Chain A
């Protein structure tokens, strides 16, 4: 009953938010007024549906396994959709379309780098993750090492990655909603934060997964529809599309050449490493490997997820190219009606304008609702990953040393979710002016340097000891953050110093080797008794990783 009243309060809050959506014209986006209602109605439908699911899920979320991993009972196909949903954030839809629109072929290179990590995750990690882990990826790194120290390290780096990623999503949400719904930036941030708290605290992983699945279906169908309508204007001929696009684009024939974004080799390679191995170190993605019944389903999830992701990236590539002609040549979408000027709402709005151009207000409303739903779903997944790092790793294993009751662990994770929700709101407001793509890149860079090296070593290298894992993990984390801090993007652009201390913007190429070398040297030189036992314990871990015997099984539902 208490849950019902709480849910009621949350819905009430939402109604207030909806009223605010309907508020008068704001920020000179009056021409968007007519479209607002479509977006609001569709978005409210999405929220109602997901709230219904959250209510249903809350009755099924009793144990910690339910809360963190939906009881491990999600099928491979469902999980594949959910992973794709987690991976394709609003930055993907809006940011990559904008990148293709502005830089042409460079955007496509980015997409391949985002995609290429998936096969590697499948071949080298998926089944071991499922066989060794229970709720968080720290279960694996700490499997045979010092629980307290290694978990603390893994939880800290998880939280750092989650926070950077949260900033990117929250800022994106605020800007998008401000433009599309004519809502105040701060109000939009609060709406996202509060909805996320409701989904995660009441529904746990069950609700988060279903929100993710619904959103992935909406995103895939919405994107496909826009692409189809836009591409039809060129008779579905790639030749015609490119002829017209290169004819009108400022880059001309250079549009289809690798260009300015990857001007120097070091940046190109570093970015490739960061995006590829960052994927394999994102806590909210890794967590999804524990929601399926066994390694078989875990493999299937990757197959489906990577299929959806690959398909959608190609859709986005076509969308971006179509946008060059359909949006880029239409004065309606430029401030002051001057073609070639500033796009209304900023560069990230190309996908939105394209949907309006090819499908009118109805399609724009749908895509806007999809984008908002996307942000909401990704933020929920992130919050759950962050909350589990706090409650499962720090609270239950480090502070309580495994003696915490399930009820108290769930309570802590709910409190943690609410705290993270407020942290997200505050960060979203503080970083309003920050570049979203940059924050996402940073999150990937830190994930690649802080999480991935220790995780892969703990699964593959018997010689890894607690000391090595700690030095490797903290070394990767600190160096990745420092490299970014001293790079031009922060040291010069944000802090206003005259020259960058570190010449490159992408940390992965430098921070990843530091993590690996530290882990190696400090493991090799560790001759303690404890280290000897840890190396011995690898044998059993290895058999379990290979066979799945003793792996956490699905709870009965």
Chain B
């Protein structure tokens, strides 16, 4: 027994050691990746972010240098604080607070002292920097928006949030990432790939050389330049016309689905969200809960489409064979159904066929057609599903699935949608409002523009998109392959003819442009809001949908102006002007231009919040901008027309 004591002790200790090793190295061991190793410092090298050009090759977005003053507290020597503060334009208290903060963060490591110096401040400071030990200047790159247009298109950069960091290991605290617009949707293309250097640290946190001779280091891959489909002149013109109004304008090239202009009003200068003042300005924009400048009305604004939706009902009725273009409906100043009545502005006894029905936007004609579609097989439940499928084939009621960062589905109801409102019986008379684009249908301006493009193409469309070209990359198939609607192309001719009549003799006759065959459709949408929990009716929204020229169309456009009253009052004028601008580059209808620039809707928007009783529609007065502002708008217009000056 005695000779086994040491023997057993040795074996037991050996087993305990192996067990402990197993516990330390296999059981509780953490991640073995280089990124999790705190003995290795990771230094990132940020590549140049890609530039953005418009469809004509004009530079829209580039980069600008920015300068941060950095500090390493341990290395700071006594300095002339007053001079330093004056150079940096900060007070002494701020200086001390910042210094304490960086010292608290780490006395050995650099931290940002003052960020985003302007070029001018940098120039002055650089001369004197040698006097301030422990401080140095670090160059960084910021976005520069060449023209102050298209904030909603281009978007902006901001620091990544924690959720993104958790989901995507590429990003690290403090990295910039696209937050909106194309900066967000083409983030991966524009940003490139940052380079990384692994550096071996010692226990005092000093660098002692590259890890494994830089074997794992990568060089940064620069971001790619992209060309977008926006025509910056048209975009600038649209934004100018939408001054003092709210709403959205979308112009699409029907032959390709390229978005020529995407105006959301009100908008802002994209340079506001760059650099030092970003968070201040962003908060200001974000908190404007009434005008909502960050809300992209052209993509996210869901509105009842109004009369332009009649075109859809006309197309479906032809496709379903429930009518012919020649068949007439007599309008008696409106349409009776059951105990209800829908008003119309036709003279009593007017006989409308399809073309004149579109031309005069006859409610009775389209209510009749809608009911015929639904009752085709004697079963409105089936009928509405068929109707819904047709409408959805135009890209309505669903996401467009394109490269825009935001969007809304809108709404095209089917039987399923009505199952709570009408659980048992369902008759075509229940939803007659859909016939005239009120009721339950809802669309966004881009969906309407796409519908216009599909009509312009007589039956197909390309998914509206904003990307025109990426450096050595081809566009995805979804943007280059046409999508066919469920309506046969021969049924489009009477509808197009009707739209042409709208311009010739109909509701938009006053908006003709000599020499251009425009096809359009006005819309006037009633709108209600909830104000202090009561339903209040406000002035109608003004809607317009058009394409031109009639044969071989070059542009399809939808304009939505909130509280603009009838369709041709605001929206129609803007659409005509945009079309002329795009097709001819000069404006002959300067009377329309002057009218639009002069008139403002700001008072109209302020009404509901004024606390005073107010009149709507015909009972609200025109608001004309003052001379000073008008002169300013004129000057901007001049700049757009003659950019070289």
Do these two chains interact? no
A interface residues (Cβ-Cβ under 8 A, vs B): none
